[in-house]
Amino acid sequence: MRTGNEDGRKIGAVARSLEILEILRRRGGATLAELEAESDLSKGSVFVHLETLADGGFVTRRGDQYVLGRRFISFGERVRNSAPLFRAGKDQVDALARESEECVHLIVEDNGLETILYEAFGSRAVGQEFFVKNREETSRHLHYSAAGKSILAGLDREDVEDIIDCRGLPERTTETITDADELFAELDDVRESGYATNEQEDILGIQAVGVPIRDAEGTTLGGLSISAPTSRLQGDQLTEEMPTLLREHANIIEVNLQTIDI
């Protein structure tokens, strides 16, 4: 499992352009002077990178501010639409959101972190603004997510240890698991029960249940989860009804994966 640059080789000019893009993503836009200060590059060097990126449609100037360009929208759509799991799972995520009336996420592990591949909101879903904002995050960890834990449970212990060594176990709320031994014990429970829970570990007041999605060989490809307020997701809902519902839809996604045109 790759959790970063392993051989140390990279092209300096490309790395600097990527650094500038990351600053723009994180800040939502920046002036030339702000980019100069934050990147430790000269103003002239920053300007050359920005002009090159602008020529490709990756950066746009608005007054004295530079922002990310709309070209990234088509890139993102292309990446997502080409993912077999997205094509196999989108309709099921929509159906599960309608049936559960809650928020449903389809996620994958990427470089030791969580990426939301698709999400849908049912008629009673809460926290939509929070979840939509999460799509922009590049550092969402797997250990405080129900779907993320279901993915971790499908990995070898060595791979999970590598992720912990590289990414750590940061605290998201007071309920987040931050101890490796405690996490491994919970992952054992997940393997036995077939589902994982997030009990206010990502945001207080919200609980979630997640299950893995596997290919025909049993390799975990992603995770599927339902999130809801604690008042609606507890007791049998948390441990029986929602896990059963999730498994039904995960199974259909797994079947779809075998039939789609990859």
**DSSP letter (8 states) at residue 237:** I
**DSSP letter (8 states) at residue 149:** H
- The predicted model gives 41-63 an average pLDDT of 95
Q: Quote the longest CA-to-CA distance of the chain.
A: 62
Q: Which CATH architecture has domain 12-69?
A: Orthogonal Bundle (1.10)
The mean of the pLDDT values for the chain is 93
- The predicted model gives 84-89 an average pLDDT of 97
- The predicted model gives 217-226 an average pLDDT of 97
pLDDT score of 260: 82
Instruction: Report how far residue 170's alpha carbon sits from residue 8's, in angstroms, rounded to the nearest whole number.
Output: 26
What is the signed CA dihedral for 142, 145, 150, 155, rounded to 10 degrees? 10
Residue 46 has pLDDT above 60, yes or no: yes
User: What DSSP assignment string belongs to 81-124?
Assistant: HT-HHHHHHHHHHHHHHHHH-SEEEEEEEETTEEEEEEEEE-TT
In the chain, the N- to C-terminal Cα span, in Å, equals 22
Question: Among 243, 188, 189, which residue's Cα sits nearest to residue 211?
Answer: 243
Q: How many residues does the chain have?
A: 262
- Band of the pLDDT at 6, cuts 50, 70, 90? low
Buried b (16+ CB within 10 A) or exposed e, 78-109: eebeebebbbbbbebbbebbeebebbbbbbbb
* Cα distances (angstroms) measured from residue 253 to each of 154, 209, 259: 17, 17, 10
Question: Among 141, 131, 130, 125, which residue's Cα sits nearest to residue 233?
Answer: 125
pLDDT score of 4: 52
| Segment 108-155, tens digit of pLDDT | 999 999 999 999 999 999 988 777 777 777 679 999 999 999 999 999
- The predicted model gives 158-166 an average pLDDT of 98
| Segment 185-211, tens digit of pLDDT | 999 999 999 999 999 999 999 999 999
Q: Amino acid identity, residue 188?
A: D
Burial of 195 (C-beta count, 10 Å sphere; 0-12/13-18/19+): buried
- The predicted model gives 173-181 an average pLDDT of 98
Q: Which CATH superfamily is domain 83-259 in?
A: GAF domain (3.30.450.40)
Instruction: Report how far residue 237's alpha carbon sits from residue 248's, in angstroms, rounded to the nearest whole number.
Output: 15
What is the value of pTM for the model shown? 0.87
Residue 2 has pLDDT above 70, yes or no: no
Cα Rg for the chain, rounded, in angstroms? 20
pLDDT score of 255: 97
Residue 101 has pLDDT above 60, yes or no: yes
Instruction: Report how far residue 80's alpha carbon sits from residue 225's, in angstroms, rounded to the nearest whole number.
Output: 18
Tell me, rounded to whole angstroms, the distance of Cα 49 from its chain centroid. Answer: 29
Domain spans of the chain, in order of start: 12-69, 83-259
Instruction: Report how far residue 235's alpha carbon sits from residue 56's, in angstroms, rounded to the nearest whole number.
Output: 53
Query: Could you tell me what percent of the chain has a pLDDT over 70?
Result: 95
pLDDT score of 118: 95
Residue 3 has pLDDT above 60, yes or no: no
Helix or strand holding residue 260 (H, E)? none
